[in-house]
Chains A and B, each alone.
Chain A
């Protein structure tokens, strides 16, 4: 234990040498509300700018660049952009380094949802071309884009905040997904909230570091240290006890993480499906499919086979086959007269009671045996299909 006693003061002394700025969170905000604009901004290309009370309305006829002359001097890990937009918009956050003689323009894509004053978070620490150097910031708007820009903000997190983010991301859980039966992404480490918010949206989680990988490396190093210690400083038995205690401790810690994730899935099932009435419950990513299948099964029971169109083939076709057995779903348009439609907005029934796909009639007159929701129903024609439908229609 002697070396540890010497190590502790060194660590404390080392921490004292760290600049105090490392512990201070810094932000730089660009406001666009009338009377609060705090930088000079200009438009380049086919872009029009109009100052409104809540912000600047940007609209483009071609590609446009909205850029500031003021430099961003922080080294932020994340950005936040707040806009109002009637439709989802695809933008690029753009930057030019002050000291770059070529004034090269770098950018990273942003997908903004439709809505009133919604904030979109941008993780910058994983963008390879993003560096600490002073830079000018801008937005690139694609042709025919219109947004009301309220605010752009950049945050440079301090050491403590980054450490807290690593801890929070470790305890951020994945959902019960189709792949969960075969593998689990497990705890991920990231040091900014923007990445943590979308931790499992990108797969494999490439914007974060696997905590398992870090732990295994640390364990390998500790094992080597213990082995070395067992040769010179402590007995083999003591090294084994220390090593096994350490392994057991980490094992239990990981068990708590993974067991909690498992329990969170059960709780999610309970609150979205098991404990909810059958009129409104949903099941994981399958939405209301299982209640739809319960609804449709009695309606096809008098048929050995029926036509089944769903929003996608997997997993619905196989799952429906099992749920309605011995009635078998397929696309045998020549022989089957019963159509089971699940979440297909392109499949409709006309006023003449004909089934249409993409606006074209595919059956003669018939009737809806039952409607589950606007896009899901069971239809029976008086005769089989009137036209040949190409396979891609059934995705």
Chain B
């Protein structure tokens, strides 16, 4: 019964995301058929919760079966109508050309197949555990599951969490996080008719599936199917990535959305022709807009960075005479408009309700001071613990060996983003009261988790160039 509910509950939101992607791609499809399904699995359910959130705060619906179904079916019908009228549905048949299969040694083929079995074992065992054990992690029972359960009981969005003795948690607490994950849990429970732990915790597997699928197809544009599969295995091999994915936390959820938004920006930088660029820019707007509705870190750090990169890419293309000024204005205008339309409701809601902007702690008004224990804690996390295996060593080494190429468009977009995100995170931890999150390795590990898939992609892309001898520059 739980499995049936799970499949039903996710099918419609995924369809919603899929149709919207088709509409955005209608002039020039850029996603493969299966790839689009993975993208829809990530973006669709979050878009669905945004619609339900809007409908609820506008007082149109409650968080009951009709409150979820009516807005979903209305928007889905509207999108299907638009897709039908604009022939966007035909886009689903379009073929995308991925990298050709390269001949691999028998040893490498066997190794990748064995690694895939190993990675599959870990994911299957982790999923079994995820749906079989009680909700025991702090952020789950204090935030993600708790809020979902409150919405389920009260059938409305509740910002004040009771903490006993007649007291409530202030609004700068966990209620400042977007309610997307809790709303999905509420939706599953509403459809099921009761709050079922295996069902609401099992939900988290979709973001791992969506992310590794999207990661595979991101690699497929450069690597053969087997090597791309090997890349996926390496991503799953990151211990903290796997553990976070196999528990009801929301950082893989953010990592998945961030990865898609980053891919849109990266492909925009890569796009050679205007129609392709136009599609990626629209997709960028959609993915960044949805990103704002995931976790607070997105609105204070990642989304502004990605928007800045979009502007930089457009100006670079104009400078190279790839596009004219009019196109730059039009493309950026469209992209930013989509971001504003999708992102504004939640940002305005936060503003009106005095919810903080930050990692459940307001970033404004923080006392700036140097915390000497933080650099040591960061060094220990990266060098003494196997949280990211060899990634902290391989990433800088690959960048060093790749030289200027790592900083030139299009790969430069990934490099600059990683540099900026890591630097910003380390500075925030070192100079603000969030230092405890680095010393305790809580916020620090989550922050690195968000960008780990992007770092893995950059390593694989640069390593492929290095090993195929596509360039000769090196900083060594």
Set B136, B142, B442: member contacting A283, Cβ < 8 A: B136
Stretch of A3-11, A21-29, A111-119, A184-192 contacting B (4+ beta carbons < 8 Å): A184-192
The reply on B122 being an interface residue by CB < 8 A is yes
- Quick check: A244 and B467 within 8 Å, CB to CB? yes
In the complex, which residues of chain B have a beta carbon less than 8 angstroms from the beta carbon of A257?
A: 386
**Which residues from B are CB-within-8-Å of A283?**
133-134, 136
Is A392 engaged at the interface, CB distance under 8 Å to the other chain? no
Given contacts A213-B384, A250-B390, contact A319 B129 (CB under 8 A): no
Provide the bound-state CA to CA distance between A182 and B167, in Å. 29
Complex Cα distance, B166 from A240, in Å, reads: 64
Residue in A262, A273, A325, A331 whose beta carbon sits within 8 Å of that of B165 in the complex: A331
B121 contacts A by Cβ under 8 Å: yes
A240–B440 Cα gap in the complex (Å)?
Answer: 37
A-facing residues in B209-252 (Cβ within 8 Å): 234, 237, 239-240, 242-244, 247, 249
Tally chain A residues at the interface, Cβ within 8 Å: 61
Asked whether A219 lies within 8 Å of B393 as measured between CB atoms, the reply is yes
- Are B146's CB and A325's CB within 8 A? yes
Contact of B162 with A by CB under 8 A: yes
Q: Is there an interface contact between A251 and B234, defined as CB atoms closer than 8 Å?
A: yes
B386–A184 touching, CB < 8 Å: yes
- Interface pair A182/B445, CB less than 8 Å apart: yes
Instruction: Name the B residues within 8 Å of A237 (CB-CB).
Output: 469
Query: What B residues does A252 contact at CB under 8 A?
Result: 111, 115, 237
Given A212-B384, A262-B122, residue A321 in contact with residue B164 (CB < 8 A): yes
In the complex, B397 has a CB within 8 A of chain A: yes
Cβ < 8 Å to A, chain B residues 403-425 = none
**In the complex the two chains form, is A322's CB within 8 Å of B135's CB?**
yes
Return the CB mask of A249-261 against B: 1 if under 8 Å, else 0: 0111011111101
Taken residue by residue from 322 to 336, chain A's Cβ proximity to chain B (1 for < 8 Å, 0 otherwise) reads as 110110111110000
Neighbour of A322 across the interface among B126, B146, B397, CB < 8 A: B146
- Distance A187 CA – B389 CA, assembled complex (angstroms): 11
A80 to B165, CA, bound (A): 52
| B125→A263 contact, CB < 8 A | yes
Interchain CB contact under 8 A, A219 and B385: no
Q: Report the Cα distance A227→B475, complex, angstroms.
A: 12
Q: Kindly supply a per-residue 1/0 record for chain A positions 221-242, scoring 1 wherever the CB is within 8 Å of any chain B CB and 0 otherwise.
A: 0010001000000000100110
The answer on a CB contact under 8 Å between B383 and A216 is yes
Is the Cβ of A331 less than 8 Å from the Cβ of B164? yes
Q: Which of B135, B150, B243, B440 gathers most chain A CB within 10 Å?
A: B243
Closest to B242 in A: A262
| List of 3 A-B pairs having minimum Cβ-Cβ separation, nearest first | A330-B164, A186-B386, A322-B141
7 A-B pairs besides A325-B153, A329-B164, A330-B166 with CB distance below 8 A are A178-B138, A183-B240, A183-B387, A184-B240, A212-B386, A321-B141, A322-B135
- Of the A-B pairs whose beta carbons lie under 8 Å apart in the complex, a sample of 11, sorted by A's number, is A181-B243, A182-B442, A213-B384, A251-B234, A258-B239, A262-B125, A290-B134, A315-B138, A321-B162, A323-B141, A332-B166
